[in-house]
A and B are shown apart, each in its own frame.
Chain A
Amino acid sequence: MSAPRFPPGATVRIRSAFPPGHVRAPWYLRGRTGAVSHIVGEMGNPEEFAYGRCDGPKLTVYRVRVRQPDIWPDYAGPPHDTLAVDVYENWLEPAGEEAP
């Protein structure tokens, strides 16, 4: 397994892209910033599998944690609560140090 692009702790943004077709980044989380908690593994790309193409390279999948208050305006729980989501590498971009 090659070195992952985003190490645990890295601040990442889920890309704000809206292509047609089968997409594996939840719409409501696109454009949001979070932190990599750990690397889930390397998986085939379901966005290619969905069209019957199975020979492409595997992608690293990351568990990303996004702060709950950044997602829900009326979030009533502790402000440090996070939502965990598994995101394929093609859907992540670096978000620098300014992010939460």
Chain B
Amino acid sequence: MPEISLPSLLPGAGVTHNCVMPADDKTRLRRHHDMGGLDAGPVERSEHDYAPWEKCVDAILRLLSGPKRGVLQIDELRRGIEDLGPGAYDELSYYERWIAAISNLLIEKGVISIDELGRKMAEVEARHEAERAKGGKA
């Protein structure tokens, strides 16, 4: 079993605050995602291609938030991402955070049900498994 350093799992662990702190330190009141002003190390400048599923997530958000449907708006997406919590916020990739928040919002709003989503996810997974077994592209 790999050794796990417990403090590294705590929210905010390893983060140093390098801006001038007000006399009454409000560090404990910072929400995890609100990272402006914290030391983040060097900026990663390399670009990368988006995977097809990432483009799908982007398209889903645009379709849901566009004027034709108006099911949700971008500020709700942002709120949904913030509410995923520190663990998910750090571990999920950019578009994983998007689709997690979109799913939660659609369930909240009654557009889809948890049961419906669960069955669809199982169906898609089974299809991918079958395609992989045939040696085709998943």
Beta-carbon nearest neighbor of A18 in chain B: B29
Beta-carbon nearest neighbor of A45 in chain B: B75
Contacting residues, chain B, for A50 (C-beta < 8 A): 75-76, 78-79
B-side interface size class: 20 to 34
In the complex, how many angstroms separate the beta carbon of A32 from the nearest chain B beta carbon?
8
The stretch of B33-41, B92-100, B129-137 in contact with A is B33-41
**B78/A72 in contact, CB under 8 A:** no
Judge if A71 is at the interface, Cβ distance under 8 Å.
yes
**A interface SS class:** loop
Contact pick for A49, options B18, B20, B75, CB 8 Å: B75
**A71/B37 in contact, CB under 8 A:** yes
Contacting residues, chain B, for A16 (C-beta < 8 A): 22, 26
**B20/A22 in contact, CB under 8 A:** no
* Chain A window 12-39, contacts with chain B (Cβ cutoff 8 Å), 1 for yes, 0 for no: 0000101011110011111100000000
**B76/A23 in contact, CB under 8 A:** no
Contact pick for B34, options A26, A46, A71, CB 8 Å: A26
Q: A46-B75, A49-B73, A50-B75 are in contact. Are A27 and B18 (CB under 8 A)?
A: no
Judge if B82 is at the interface, Cβ distance under 8 Å.
yes
Judge if A54 is at the interface, Cβ distance under 8 Å.
yes
Q: A21-B79, A27-B31 are in contact. Are A72 and B19 (CB under 8 A)?
A: yes
**B26/A18 in contact, CB under 8 A:** yes
**B76/A49 in contact, CB under 8 A:** yes
In the complex, how many angstroms separate the beta carbon of B72 from the nearest chain A beta carbon?
7
Contacting residues, chain A, for B73 (C-beta < 8 A): 49, 52, 54
Beta-carbon nearest neighbor of B17 in chain A: A28
Q: How far is the CA of A27 from the CA of B17 in the complex (A)?
A: 12
Q: How far is the CA of A28 from the CA of B37 in the complex (A)?
A: 6
**B79/A30 in contact, CB under 8 A:** no
In the complex, how many angstroms separate the beta carbon of B16 from the nearest chain A beta carbon?
12
Contacting residues, chain A, for B78 (C-beta < 8 A): 22, 46, 50
The list of the 4 closest CB pairs from A to B, nearest first, reads A28-B37, A49-B75, A50-B79, A18-B29
Which residues on B are within 8 Å of A, measured CB to CB? 18-20, 22, 26, 29-31, 34, 36-38, 72-73, 75-76, 78-79, 82, 109
